[in-house]
Structure 1
Amino acid sequence: RLSGGSMARALELVGNEVFWEERRLAREYCRLLGTGDLWESLDVATALGKSNNPGQMLDLMELWLRDLLVWQLSQSATLLINYDYAEEIAGQQYAPEKLKKALSELHLTRRRLRQNANKKLALEVMALKISRELPVAREVTG
């Protein structure tokens, strides 16, 4: 599913240790942003800025947040891209509207970076805005 249906991409990903480490980091960055801690958020922005491919990291973070949203709306593991983490995803409660805001901020940041915005500033703003949304999103009760 991570290959987007491309067999060539799937084969490329199988042996790509860098990709799997970036995927793990993207999950961890989303978790850290979910704490709502200012310093953790700025640390995430700094780490993203130092990444060899911040665009790919944002893509992977988007896939994680997308799966959290899909789960909240459908409760269906078959719709998840990160299906190997279905149990972890199912254990998290988020308000769909807050996840949508976080996803919008990721999209906006990606666009800003493509338009040659100041990378450090764009990533810091994104991290702070998402960290403001996600902890509030956790207040959902079942």
Structure 2
Amino acid sequence: MMGFEEILGNEMVKDHFKKAIQNHKISHAYILTGEAGMGRKSIANAFAMTLLCEKGGSEPCMMCHSCKQVMSGNHPDLIYVTHEKPGSIGVDDVREQINDTIMIRPYSSYYKIYIVDEAEKMTVQAQNALLKTIEEPPAYAVIILITTNQEAFLPTILSRCVQMKLKPLKDFTIKSYLTQNLHIAEKDADICAAFARGNLGKAIHLASSDEFRELFQKVMVLVKNVGTMDISMLLDCIREMKEQNFDIGEVLDLMQLWYRDVLMFKVTKDMNLLIFKDEYKMINETGEKVDYAGLEAILAAIDTARTRLNANVNMELAMELLLLTMKHPS
């Protein structure tokens, strides 16, 4: 478990919490929104640990009895709301774990903090039950809702919470973390950072994933040989990836990164701007064979394939149309 300083990015969100602590202006309810892996739980935990810290600073000391209790998951005034049903947080979960206990004063701290992960799964009844508590909370109560989708909340919940949205990190920030902290090779860190789209948790997972490494290799074979393989062979590659339960959306993402590099190198001739630096010779060859209009057509076809798949169009048909464009872009 980390303090604010150890958490990468989202300085505005961290500063908001730190200033609230410094100025003794703590709200009773917060919503932290962002993709899974972007640090929502880390920030919520850092905020909770700082509020409960015996030193009373804007960073947890990590040394006092309270901080150690938080780090070991045993602080009596920090409650993580759980739910047995994986798909929903029901009214009984809220009543039993929050409403029925919130009037009991903190055991050892000034604050009593509730963290609700996957809060978007709260049913309407659960949200209405929580609303009554948020409207008239005891002075010591702090409720933190962690979510990937705040649009799932009732307007009345949203209006009574301080809402903060986490933003993606810069690719170079993620790359630096992967190379310096996890000792990932620079070329692999480039790919993981670009593919993760600002999500550090996702980048860390990709860097250690044999499945992603295999998917990457298969897509590279496909994009490098799309001009020489016939359409049936290309479709066999797609079917094979599908049968291995690879995400076709991730296949499209890798294709998009590849052709983005081709276009970038064609325009700039600057190898330092490439994600796939090791493949610059093949990228250059592809750029010499395909004109600008063709590359734009391929990138547009990738977006179209993604739209079709999201609309449940037949996967093989959608991919066949894309592969035909990749083979004959102009």
**Length-normalised TM-score, structure 2:** 0.37
* Distance (Å, rounded) in 2 between the aligned partners of 1:50 and 1:82: 27
Matched, 1:124 2:317: no
Structure (1/2) with the larger helix percentage? 1
What is the CA deviation profile of residues 45-84 of structure 1, one whole-angstrom value per residue up to 9, with x for unaligned ones? 4335435211101111111111111111111112112223
Change (3 A) 1:26 1:121: same
Which residue number corresponds to residue 22 of structure 1?
215
- Decide which of 195, 200, 225 is 1:7's aligned counterpart: 200
User: Alpha-carbon deviation of 1:36?
Assistant: 6.1
* Distance (Å, rounded) in 1 between the aligned partners of 2:238 and 2:203: 29
User: Alpha-carbon deviation of 1:85?
Assistant: 2.5
- Provide the alpha-carbon RMSD of the alignment: 2.2
Answer with 60-69 or 82-91: which moved more.
82-91
Matched, 1:106 2:302: yes
Change (3 A) 1:38 1:11: closer
Alignment length (residue pairs) = 134
- Name which structure has the greater RCO, CA cutoff 8 Å, separation 6+: 1
Give the conservation status (yes or no) of the 8 Å contact 1:67–1:81: yes
Give the conservation status (yes or no) of the 8 Å contact 1:102–1:130: yes
Give the conservation status (yes or no) of the 8 Å contact 2:265–2:271: yes
**Residues 1-142 of structure 1 correspond to what in structure 2 (within 5 A)?**
1-2=190-191, 3=193, 4-35=197-228, 37-52=230-245, 53-92=247-286, 93=288, 94-133=290-329
Change (3 A) 1:34 1:51: farther
Answer with 50-59 or 67-76: which moved more.
50-59
Change (3 A) 1:131 1:47: farther
Larger radius of gyration: 2
Q: State the identity %.
A: 28
Name the aligned partner's letter for residue 66 of structure 1. R
User: Alpha-carbon deviation of 1:7?
Assistant: 3.5
**Length-normalised TM-score, structure 1:** 0.79
